[in-house]
Chain A
Amino acid sequence: MNDVLAAVLEALAVLTYVALNAFVLIWLERKIAGHIQRRIGPLRVGGPGGSLQSLADGIKLFSKEDFRPGGRDGIIWWLAPLVSMTPAVMVFIAIPFGQHLIIHDMNIGLIYITSITSFGLLGVFMAGWGSNNKYSLLGAMRAGAQLFSYEIPAILSTIGVVLAAGSLSLETIVAKQSAHWFLFPQILGFIVFYVAILAETNRTPFDLAEAESELVGGYFTEYSGIRWAMFPFAEYGTLFTGCALATTLFLGGWHGPLFLPGWVWFLIKTYILVFIAMWIRWTLPRVRIDQLMDLGWKFLIPLSLINILGTGAYIALVR
């Protein structure tokens, strides 16, 4: 009985945090975009700087007509938003926000996260296939190719860290970084990982799957209302978890020079990474699909292999 209660409480905590986090990130993104473009962004709803705008949008999306495209593939179309949102939520379980501030410390935490995030692709693909829309289909095809080829460098780039830490458990990896972060010995790995995160979360310069100027809305063209909202929700969730993972693996997790609580350090680092991702999004143009593939296969994968090689050689020689 206690186990069930704990599980429910954990699930609730995660869901609340994910929802709050998505709201904050969406608001933040619009604010940052606004200020970069000499605008103000959200302004009117709620407290300072229109901070309740996302909530208002959420309410609006809930009350919208549930539009369904004709000729859709019923169950696939219906399931797709859920399938793409679930992994975004599930990943939160394994992220160490602070020392012992982790819902489940698995000894295979890293593998759990990488395997769960790959599921997101399935939702995207289902959305594209089920919508019976050519734009959606093209978007889904692009997403498929893109996520598949960026999953590999993302995983390869973490191997250096695993080698250095000697563990797959995220808590152990962070604990190993108490003296120095893995950022500098693993700078190649960090760069590859960060670029791969950008690609996996479909953000400019890699937002080919939803390329507005080409594919209108990409794979979620045919969704509206709350079903549509689940896709950005998942996207921002993945962005956050990606950055959180980068913090955990390379930036020393909860370790920080000042005497702030560990989870504050963790959040600061993560949100800085998120901010950089947003900054990049509002600066760069989009790459083309073949250039994206080139970058992934011909550049990032060799780089991460070099990284593994270097780390391995170092460990073999020094120890």
Chain B
Amino acid sequence: MASTSTTAGEQAPGLQSQLMTLNLGPQHPSTHGVLRVVVTLDGEEVVEAQPDIGYLHRNFEKIVEGWALPGVVPFSDRNDYLAAIANEVCVCDAIETLGEVELPDRAKWLRVLFAELQRIISHELWYGAFGMDLGAFTPFLYGFRDRETGYLLMEKATGARMLYAYNRIGGLRNDVTDAWLKELEGYLDFMEKQAFPEYMKLLIENEIFVMRTKGTGQLTREQAIAWGASGPVLRSTGLPWDLRKKRPYLVYDQLEFDVPTGTNGDNYDRAMVRMLEIKESIKIIRQVLRRLPDGPVLAKARAAVRPRVGEYYARQESPRGEVGVHLVSNGRPNAYRLKWRAPTFSHLQLVPLMCRGVKMADMIANLGSLDIVMGEVDR
């Protein structure tokens, strides 16, 4: 039986109140896919929130053990389906390192370009979804509107909207045309001049938004580190930990950009960090456009990749945090073991911590501010 309420002291004698257990999800408007959160409520207040995962489990890690490595790359798109490029680049990095494939220069730059474009698109969606969690429906469609333009660009370059299957071991499947690069520049201009100020004015600077997010869902830096948080969730606590800066991969060491950080680690800071990251990504893409070298995009000697015996942990900064691939190879064309580190898996474990004692509405906001993608959590 549920115990009596924690506020028993305030009650009239003889009255008894009970805690209420609510199954939030797996079908609920704001659980971002198929997440179930078992919430124990005391009226409006959340006593405990326990996320329950596994509804989207697809056995990714086991399945790919039986596949030749080139097939793993398109399949990895399905993990974090909102940032497919980040997955592909990461898994390619692991395979290329173990297979000793040298990447052509242009491929490196283009990978950076696509990863950053993907970051913009992903944060646009997050912006909309977070607005929706706070009850504002219109930002969601504005986010979608601009994301759709971005996806069209992606489709023109890669042939698919979301699950690109664009990276190959040793580079990229297709080159991009100059016309496409021009179009991309137009999109960046639009984002910078029109869409971004609109996002800020409509939601982020709105007093109600500030009221709702400031001071809620607060995390200290120690907590964030202890629970393995990364990406915007960690940076919002003030730690400028960005793998693009701290462990530069591809050509990030030749690019100039800032790492936005927050101070309080609350929902507002997380929102702010993500919004500023859109700006930084635009800056990075502009630099790439200026310095993009010519040449092939696909390495020659890559047929029949046979990674050497050994293991390698590749990690990169996806829009959500550190995505990592631990590849163990015994010299066969398929992986002996492939462990996927999903950033939002760690972030989801923060939910019980963040949601103890908050109001029901703030719990939804906390969940939204972590930017959870269930495809990646459940794999």
Contact = CB atoms under 8 A, between A and B. Distances in A.
Direct touch of chains A and B (CB < 8 A): yes
Interface of A: 33, 36-39, 134-135, 138, 141-142, 204-205, 207-208, 211-214, 216, 282-291
B361 A211 contact: yes
B136 A283 contact: yes
Contact of B212 (A38, A138, A287): A287
B31 to A, nearest CB: 10
A213 B44 contact: no
Interface of B: 20, 22, 28-30, 41, 43-44, 131-138, 141-142, 145, 202-203, 206, 208-209, 211-212, 359-362, 364
Contacts of A33: 137
Given A37-B142, A38-B141, A204-B136, A287 B20 contact: no
7 contacts: A38-B142, A135-B22, A212-B29, A213-B135, A214-B364, A286-B134, A289-B44
Contacts of B131: 285
Nearest to A39: B141
Given A283-B138, A289-B359, A290-B359, A214 B30 contact: yes
B359 A285 contact: no
A284 B30 contact: no
A207 B135 contact: yes
Given A213-B30, A283-B136, A288 B141 contact: no
A213 B360 CA distance: 11
Interface of B is mostly: helix
A208 to B, nearest CB: 8
A291 B211 CA distance: 8
A208 B206 CA distance: 18
Contacts, number: 80
B29 A286 contact: no
Which residue of A211, A285, A286 has the most chain B CB atoms within 10 A of its CB atom? A285
Contacts of B43: 141
Nearest to B360: A214
A216 B135 contact: no
Contacts of A288: 211-212, 359, 361-362
A285 B28 contact: no
A134 B36 CA distance: 16
A285 B212 contact: yes
B20 A285 contact: no
Contacts of B133: 213
A285 B361 contact: no
A138 B360 contact: yes
B145 to A, nearest CB: 6
A138 B145 CA distance: 34
